[in-house]
């Protein structure tokens, strides 16, 4: 089955530690995205990548980093510089072009203790 | 960037129709989308409409588009408890990332 996987579903970390969230897709999509979701805030774009080895900052990139070494993978690192990292993180992917459905992964809930 | 606006909450009785409204920002947007998010899950595409259309119907779902007012609505007929979720509208501006509204939480009362 084609789709997007995010692991783990739930993640707990101590304050001050970096943590990397995994996102893998087997849809052969060019573009991949990371969003953060907080209650009542909707989706906020952290980083996106339109092509391998290239990525752009979204609206709230501070305290996060990404890499796109492979087409199917777009890991997100939440660094200790992110002041309030506890949130629900969603990864998405999409074929390039004006209309193409954007598919979402199931999300990772990160809790920093 | 400019925001896509949605009301945050809607409550309806089971069997009634639900209407979720959205105001988008870019008159050159070519596609507009409705996504559904169930608790603790990712978003799933419900339906979309191309900007040269006024209406699109898909079973219980009807999408209306008013380009002049940049207003989009999603009507769910015969709303069921399983329709309780957060609904997001989003606009497409070419190859740039989709712009999402903050979501409308629909509560269906049995």
A74 touches chain B (CB under 8 A): no
- H-run or E-run covering A76: strand A76-78
Q: What percent of chain B has pLDDT over 70?
A: 98
Q: Does pLDDT of B1 surpass 70?
A: no
- Tokens at B31, concatenated: 């596609």
Q: What percent of chain B has pLDDT over 90?
A: 75
If phi > 0 it is left, if psi is from -120 to 50 it is alpha, else beta; for residue A11 that is: beta
pLDDT at A2: 72
Residues B88-97: what's their mean pLDDT? Answer: 86
What residues contact A29, with CB distance under 8 A and at least 6 apart? Answer: A71, A93, A94, A95, A103
pLDDT at A72: 97
Q: What are the tens digits of pLDDT across the range B38-73?
A: 999 999 999 999 988 999 999 999 999 999 999 999
pLDDT at B63: 97
Residue reference for tokens 């890499």: A67
Q: If you count DSSP H runs as helices and E runs as strands, how many of each does chain A have, helices first? A: 0, 11
Show residues of chain A in contact with B43, CB under 8 Å: 43, 90, 92, 104
Q: Is B67 helix (H, G, I), strand (E, B) or coil?
A: coil
Residues B74-97: what's their mean pLDDT? Answer: 92
A99: nearest CB among B8, B92, B100: B92
Scanning every residue of chain A, which has its alpha carbon at the shortest distance from the alpha carbon of B28?
A98
Q: What are the tens digits of pLDDT across the range A35-56?
A: 999 987 789 999 999 999 999 9
Q: Shortest CA distance to A105 belongs to which of A18, A14, A37?
A: A37
Question: In Å, how far is A78's CA from the nearest CA of chain B?
Answer: 20
Q: Do B45 and A101 touch (CB under 8 A)?
A: yes
pLDDT at B2: 61
Residues A79-99: what's their mean pLDDT? Answer: 88
Q: Indicate the average pLDDT of chain A.
A: 93
């Amino acid at each position: 089955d084609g789709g997007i996987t995010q692991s783990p579903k739930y993640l707990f970390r101590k304050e001050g530690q970096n943590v990397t969230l995994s996102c893998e897709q087997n849809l052969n999509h060019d573009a991949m995205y990371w969003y953060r979701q907080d209650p009542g805030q909707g989706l906020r774009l952290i980083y996106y990548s339109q092509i391998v080895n290239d990525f752009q900052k979204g609206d709230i990139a501070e305290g996060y980093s990404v890499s796109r070494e492979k087409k199917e993978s777009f890991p997100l690192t939440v660094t200790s510089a992110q002041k309030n990292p506890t949130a629900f993180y969603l990864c998405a992917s999409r074929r390039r072009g004006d209309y193409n459905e954007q598919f979402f992964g199931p999300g990772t809930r990160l809790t920093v203790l | 960037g400019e925001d896509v606006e949605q009301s945050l909450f809607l409550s309806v009785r089971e069997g009634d129709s639900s209407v979720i409204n959205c105001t988008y920002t870019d008159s050159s947007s070519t596609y507009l989308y409705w996504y559904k998010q169930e608790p603790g899950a990712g978003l799933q595409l419900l339906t979309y409409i191309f900007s040269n259309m006024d209406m699109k119907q898909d079973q219980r779902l009807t999408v209306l588009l008013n380009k002049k007012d940049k207003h989009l609505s999603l009507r769910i007929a015969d709303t069921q408890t399983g329709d309780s979720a957060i609904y997001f509208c989003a606009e497409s501006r070419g190859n740039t990332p989709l712009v999402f509204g903050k979501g409308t939480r629909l509560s269906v009362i049995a």
